[in-house]
């Protein structure tokens, strides 16, 4: 859907120069999603015409791998510390992710895969080509599957995330991100970090207070965040509170 140059706006590599390659399509519906335009494949892909310019040229979809690599070259991909393969949900297209990761990694940047953390078979296909798996741990209080009836609550995602995390650990680095909203329930948060600790208590876990967007009108107060982090730290060695930052500087 998009190729553009910016800085990483969230997670442990926040602030690092990053070239984003955004793939279309998603099978979840997060209440706080900041990119609902990615839920369905778009008729056109947008390629930024200069680093940070915010201006784009369009190409009809589907675009060829060579066109994406050329768009990345035009944005001086080698000058970035990371390429973020993001979405939508990139693992709905594992063949494309593997090809993009190999083609862009060869140009120098590390490959960071941003994923909802559920498509375990697809991850197994691509994990050898990825340097950092940045996976969400979705909470059923705020997330439903696109196939769920409107208004229904999704079944918990914990077991699927645990299976995904076990495969993600084959990558050099894995980070788990939990978006915390006013609706997030203590029991599901505690279950999430208990499951992470079962795999490895040293895995970095980021508590990301939701950025108000869509139906989410408010974020989470610092008192609640600090209390949650303290509880998470009783079982995990690397817990961090990191809000999204790119919105503060007006970056894409
Ligand atoms: S998984 Fe990502 S793209 Fe899909 S709805 Fe959730 S936040 Fe949006």
pLDDT single digits (tens) 76-112: 999 999 999 999 999 999 999 999 999 999 999 999 9
pLDDT of residue 186: 95
Choose which residue among 9, 35, 215 to substitute to test ligand 1 binding: the one with the highest number of ligand atoms within 8 A of its C-beta: 35
| Alpha carbon of 146 to ligand 1 centroid (Å) | 10
* CATH number of residue 16's parent domain: 3.20.20.70
pLDDT at 232: 98
Pocket test for ligand 1, best of 9, 41, 88 (most atoms within 8 A of CB): 88
Residue 65 has pLDDT above 80, yes or no: yes
pLDDT in tens, 156-211: 999 999 999 999 999 999 999 999 999 999 999 999 999 999 999 999 999 999 98
Residue 233 has pLDDT above 80, yes or no: yes
71 part of a folded domain: yes
Print the SS3 string covering the chain.
CEEEEEECCCCCCCCCEEEEEECCCCCEEECCCCCHHHCCCCCEEEEECCCCCCCEEEEECCCCHHHHHHHHHHCCHHHCCEEEEECCCHHHCHHHHHHHHHHHHCCCCEEEEEECCCCHHHHHHHHHHCCEEEEECCCCCCEEECCCCCCCCCCCCHHHHHHHHHHHCCCCEEEEEEEECCCCCHHHHHHHHHHHHHHCCCCCEEEEECCCECCECCCCCHHHHHHHHHHHCCCCCCEEECCCCHHHHCCC
- Tell me, yes or no, whether 239 lies in a domain: no
Residue 84 pairs in a beta bridge with 20, 112
Q: Looking at residues 1-16, what average pLDDT do you find?
A: 96
Phi, psi values for residue 221, rounded to 5°: -70, 160
* pLDDT value, residue 217: 85
Look at strands 143-145 and 28-30 and give their pairing: antiparallel
**Residue 231 located in a structural domain:** no
Task: List the one residue out of 95, 100, 132 whose CA is nearest residue 113.
Answer: 132
* Nearest ligand 1 atom to alpha carbon 88: 3
- The domain tally of the chain equals 1
Is the predicted pLDDT of residue 34 greater than 90, yes or no? no
Q: How far is the CA of 27 from the centre of ligand 1 (A)?
A: 8
Provide the pLDDT for residue 84.
Answer: 98
- Give me the pLDDT at residue 105, please: 98
Q: What integer pLDDT is reported at residue 191 of this predicted model?
A: 97
Q: What average pLDDT does the segment 59-81 reach?
A: 97
- Any domain includes 205: no
Q: Which two tokens stand for residue 128?
A: 């050898």
Question: Which pLDDT score, from 0 to 100, does residue 247 have?
Answer: 72
Identify the residues whose C-beta falls under 6 Å from ligand 1.
26, 28-30, 33, 35, 38, 87-89, 116
**pLDDT of 246 above 80:** no
- Closest residue by Cα to atom 8, ligand 1, is 33
d(CA 167, CA 174): 10
Residue 129 is predicted with a pLDDT of 98
What's the predicted TM-score (pTM) here?
0.96
pLDDT of residue 213: 76
| Among the listed residues 204, 212, 211, the one whose alpha carbon sits nearest the alpha carbon of residue 229 | 204
For a mutational test of ligand 1's pocket, the pick from 1, 32, 33, 122, i.e. the residue with the most ligand atoms closer than 8 A to its C-beta, is: 33
Beta bridge partners of 150: none
Does 251 map to a domain?
no
Is the confidence at residue 212, as pLDDT, over 90?
A: no
Alpha-carbon Rg for the chain, nearest whole angstrom, is 17
Give residue 151's pLDDT band: very low, low, confident or very high (50, 70, 90): confident
Mean pLDDT rounded to a whole number for the chain: 95
Task: Flag whether 208 is in a domain.
Answer: no
From atom 6 of ligand 1, which residue's Cα is the shortest distance away?
30
Q: CA-CA distance, 191 to 95, in Å (whole number)?
A: 33
pLDDT value for 149: 82
Q: Which of 38-42, 99-103, 151-155 has the lowest mean pLDDT?
A: 151-155
pLDDT at 230: 98
Residue 243 lies in a domain: no
User: Is residue 79 included in any domain, yes or no?
Assistant: yes
Domain housing 147 = 2-179
| Nearest ligand 1 atom, CA 116 | 1
Residues in Cβ contact with 221 at an 8 Å cutoff, skipping those fewer than 6 apart: none
């Amino acid at each position: 859907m998009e190729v553009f140059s910016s800085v990483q706006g969230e997670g442990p590599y926040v602030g690092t120069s990053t070239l984003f390659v955004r793939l279309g399509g998603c099978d979840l519906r997060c209440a706080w999603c900041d990119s609902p335009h990615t839920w369905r494949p778009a008729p056109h892909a947008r390629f930024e015409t200069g680093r940070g310019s915010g201006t784009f040229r369009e190409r009809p979809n589907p675009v060829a791998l060579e066109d994406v690599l050329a768009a990345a070259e035009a944005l001086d991909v080698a000058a970035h510390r990371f390429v973020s393969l993001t979405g939508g949900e990139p693992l709905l297209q594992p063949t494309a992710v593997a090809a993009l990761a190999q083609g862009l990694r060869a140009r120098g940047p590390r490959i960071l895969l941003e994923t909802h953390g559920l498509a375990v078979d697809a991850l197994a296909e691509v994990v050898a080509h990825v340097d950092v798996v940045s996976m969400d741990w979705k909470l059923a209080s705020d997330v439903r599957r696109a196939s769920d009836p409107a208004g229904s609550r999704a079944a918990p995602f914990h077991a699927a995330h645990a299976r995904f995390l076990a495969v993600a650990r084959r990558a050099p680095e894995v980070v788990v991100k939990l978006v915390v909203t006013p609706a997030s329930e203590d029991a599901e948060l505690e279950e999430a970090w208990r499951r992470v600790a079962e795999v490895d208590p040293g895995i970095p876990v980021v508590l990301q207070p939701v950025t108000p967007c869509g139906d989410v009108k408010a974020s989470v107060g610092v008192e609640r965040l600090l209390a949650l982090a303290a509880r998470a730290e009783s079982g995990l060695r690397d817990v961090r509170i990191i809000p999204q930052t790119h919105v503060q500087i007006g970056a894409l």
